[in-house]
Amino acid sequence: MKESKDYLLLDLNSEENDEYDNEVDTSLTHRRHSKKVSAKEKESMQAIESLDFSEIDNILLRKYTNQLKRSEKIMKSLGKWVICTLIGIIVGIVVYCLKKSVDELQELKFHSIEKCPLASSSGLPESFLYTYTELIPFCIMGIIGGLLGALYVYMNVRINYYRKVYLGNRPLYRLAEVAIIVLLTSVICFFPAMVVNCRAIPNIVQSSTDVCDVAEESPTVQFFCPKDFYNQLASLTFTTSENALKLLYSRDSNIFTAGTLFGFTVMFFLLCVVTSGVYVASGIFIPMMLIGGAWGRLFGKFIDAYILRVDPSLYALIGSAAMMGGSLRMTISLVVIIVELTEGTQYLLPVILVVMISKWTGDAFNESIYEHLIELKHIPYLPSKPSRYMSKLTVSDAMATNVITLPEVVSVRQVLEVLHNSPHNGFPVVLLPHLHESDNSTNNNNNNNNNNNKSNNDSYQSSSGNSSPFLPNSPDSFRSSLNSDYSVRDGSATFRQSTNKLKEVQLFQSQKEGKVLCGLILRSQLLILIKHRIFIEAGSAQADMNFLQDVDLPIDHRLFVTELASKLPTIQQLSNNLTPQQMDMEIDLRPYMNFAVVSIKNYSSLSEAYKLFRLVGLRHVVVVNVFNQIVGSVTS
């Protein structure tokens, strides 16, 4: 694959990587760092390749569809409708039960807050906690959240990459890493809390409550402090995430000092960068809320002390939204979650504003953490939009030119060698010209001796009627028409027309000699054909493809699909079970290859190829020239 900077696709099947036995070194050209694909990941990729085999257009599927009786087709369609109806009934019952439960809860809630019908059950007051002038600080918080989120994504992706390279899938190493991280986290959380001074609980300024507000005691942690005292840092680290968020979102003031909030933000940010991606699930959603709530409350304390009177609890909530928007790049779902936390719509405007600004800021530097983790695990995924550089390039700038192909009829030995030496999951099938030549070539040659224009045209039409669907008309027809033009006509116009037809003959000959694409066969399909010994004698392949529609194939479509869903044998196992006579036999790929293979011209725009991958859900596309000859391939 050609070298590039930031705009090409991921080539998982580069031929330069055959030196590895269990790993294939790949270059990720859509990002800026390379990775390795393990044997387990390659096996999962092969399973993905076979998921759409039931929709492959080949003779095996056509015969299966034609053999289905009308009653079987009706029962098959009826079964789908019955399943859909049952699912609808179950969903309706569940929705009805939920609605009844909600109605009962609403009735109980109405009786409990009958004196305050407009109040929110979360304890928030009826009045707004912000003014429209505070939208400017909220925008600044969105930018800060986007920058911190982009920094978190960059650092976490680099750590996970080195973790994968040096630790791999070794359970002992990963377990030792978890033990070290647990020890490090305990030390970082314990000893800094010992340094922080204790604060008296009565110094906490309780928020003013009216009839409709709910006053709750702040869930502080004593942590070696005297009675009626609490430790600020331990109240955030040595407690549950729920209690820590309650403290950060609390309307009570004078709970934390600025130094404590800043230290907790830095400490928790670094711990989250390291722990996200370890062998034990550590979460990413709640830690982002805690980090954002800490620096958001710190930002609110700064605004309240030096600019205007504000409520730091709201800034903690906005900071959580900004941090999650900058790292996770969530939009609608994140806004819904934040609104559900507050149980009020008066915060909808600042939350939407901060989430969008933080997402745009983070997108200016990198993608979300989820997309990078998907890439690290080599899961087939493409972003929704191509890079802006792709519009300036063609497919030939990104394709791999060393494409491994198979002929329509291939020996068993050659198939095993290709499967053993190549990690590819799909192989283009090239045309064998002698299998598609017209059977009436003798009659055509006899008719070409006539100098009559009408007889030559009739011979051309009969020849084209029996020609292969993959090839143009026989060159004998061109030669006959060319000879008739020389014998009947003369002059410059006739010579020009004859010269053009001579070029057509030459193009046809070059097309016969080149790798003309006629189908595509998957690795899993080849393994099944070898497993079931679907061989023919060498040189016994018939030239006419129409016979394949009439004879019975040695394997049924249902069995083929069932085999694809099961675990297939390895190349070594198949080779050991074959005799030398079977190795010299051939496999006719025409009944099993995909005729409707998706291809793209080498001069097409790379952005169009990207859209093709994204919309159709392809894993690989064969690149052809104007004569349908294979010149390369592009993988997702």
436 vs 276, residue with greater confidence: 276
- pLDDT single digits (tens) 563-606: 877 888 888 898 898 998 999 999 988 888 888 888 999 999 89
Q: What is the rounded average pLDDT of the residues 470-492?
A: 44
Q: What is the rounded average pLDDT of the residues 93-114?
A: 66
Do 331 and 260 reside in the same domain of the chain? yes
Residue 290 lies in a domain: yes
- pLDDT single digits (tens) 495-552: 455 555 555 545 555 444 578 998 899 898 899 999 989 898 888 887 765 555 556 7
Confidence grade of residue 612 (pLDDT, cut at 50, 70, 90): confident
Report DSSP state, residue 539: T
pLDDT of 264 over the 80 cut: yes
Residue 73 lies in a domain: no
User: Residue 566, SS3?
Assistant: coil
Amino acid at 185: T
Do 298 and 431 reside in the same domain of the chain? no
Pick from 484, 476, 407: which is nearest to 438 by CA? 476
Q: For the range 540-543, what are the long-range contacts, defined as Cβ-Cβ under 8 Å and sequence gap of 24 or more?
A: 540/586, 541/408, 541/409, 541/435, 541/586, 541/588, 542/435, 543/434, 543/435, 543/436, 543/437, 543/439
Report DSSP state, residue 570: P
In Å, what is the CA distance from 87 to each residue of 92, 101, 385? 9, 21, 35
Q: What's the whole-model pTM score?
A: 0.63
Residue 315 lies in a domain: yes
Do 407 and 287 reside in the same domain of the chain? no
Pick from 317, 315, 204, 221: which is nearest to 257 by CA? 204
Which residues have CB under 8 Å from 349's CB, separation 6+? 135
pLDDT of 73 over the 80 cut: no
Question: How far is it, in rounded angstroms, from Cα 149 to Cα 155?
Answer: 10
Compute CA 16 distance to the chain's CA centroid, rounded to the nearest angstrom.
24
Which residue shows structure tokens 């030792």? 176
Percent of the chain scored above 70 by pLDDT?
Answer: 69
Tokens encoding 616 = 């159709």
Do 163 and 243 reside in the same domain of the chain? yes
- In the chain, how many domains are there? 2
Residue 276 lies in a domain: yes
Give the domain-ending residue among 344, 377, 410: 377
pLDDT of 234 over the 50 cut: yes
> C-alpha angle with apex 629: 628 to 631, nearest 5 degrees?
125
310 vs 558, residue with greater confidence: 310
Confidence grade of residue 81 (pLDDT, cut at 50, 70, 90): confident
H-type alpha helices, 232-276: 234-237, 241-249, 258-275
Residue 36 lies in a domain: no
Pick from 636, 598, 594, 621: which is nearest to 53 by CA? 594
The pLDDT assigned to 556 comes to: 75
Do 351 and 415 reside in the same domain of the chain? no
The pLDDT assigned to 71 comes to: 62
In Å, what is the CA distance from 522 to each residue of 9, 153, 430, 529, 596? 21, 36, 14, 11, 13
pLDDT of 356 over the 80 cut: yes
Confidence grade of residue 66 (pLDDT, cut at 50, 70, 90): low
Amino acid at 51: L
Bridge partner residues of 600 (DSSP): 623
Contact of 405 with 39, CB cutoff 8 Å: no
Do 370 and 400 reside in the same domain of the chain? no
Q: Report the mean per-residue pLDDT for the chain.
A: 75
Do 275 and 400 reside in the same domain of the chain? no
**Can you give the CATH number for the domain in which 150 is found?**
1.10.3080.10
> C-alpha angle with apex 47: 42 to 48, nearest 5 degrees?
95
Do 243 and 334 reside in the same domain of the chain? yes
Question: How far is it, in rounded angstroms, from Cα 314 to Cα 350?
Answer: 10
Question: How far is it, in rounded angstroms, from Cα 516 to Cα 627?
Answer: 8
Do 164 and 267 reside in the same domain of the chain? yes
Residue 335 lies in a domain: yes
User: Residue 446, SS3?
Assistant: helix
Pick from 346, 315, 259, 340: which is nearest to 144 by CA? 315
Confidence grade of residue 450 (pLDDT, cut at 50, 70, 90): very low
Backbone angles phi and psi of 135, in degrees to 5: -65, -30
Which residues have CB under 8 Å from 206's CB, separation 6+? 215, 252
Residue 260 lies in a domain: yes
Note down the domain range covering 578.
395-436+513-635
Residue 166 lies in a domain: yes
Do 544 and 616 reside in the same domain of the chain? yes
Do 423 and 322 reside in the same domain of the chain? no
Backbone angles phi and psi of 274, in degrees to 5: -80, -40
CB atoms inside a 10 Å sphere around CB 38: 16
Which residues have CB under 8 Å from 221's CB, separation 6+? 230, 231, 234, 235, 238, 239
- pLDDT single digits (tens) 311-332: 898 899 999 999 999 999 988 8
Q: What is the rounded average pLDDT of the residues 370-380?
A: 83
Most confident of 153-162, 281-290, 368-377: 153-162
**Can you give the CATH number for the domain in which 547 is found?**
3.10.580.10
> Rg of the chain's alpha carbons, rounded to an integer?
35
Do 303 and 426 reside in the same domain of the chain? no
Report DSSP state, residue 210: -
- pLDDT single digits (tens) 120-177: 434 444 455 778 889 999 999 999 999 999 999 999 999 999 998 888 888 888 889 9
Amino acid at 93: I
Q: Is 168 left (phi over 0), alpha (psi -120 to 50) or beta?
A: left
Percent of the chain scored above 90 by pLDDT?
Answer: 26
In Å, what is the CA distance from 201 to each residue of 228, 229, 253, 254, 452? 6, 5, 11, 10, 113
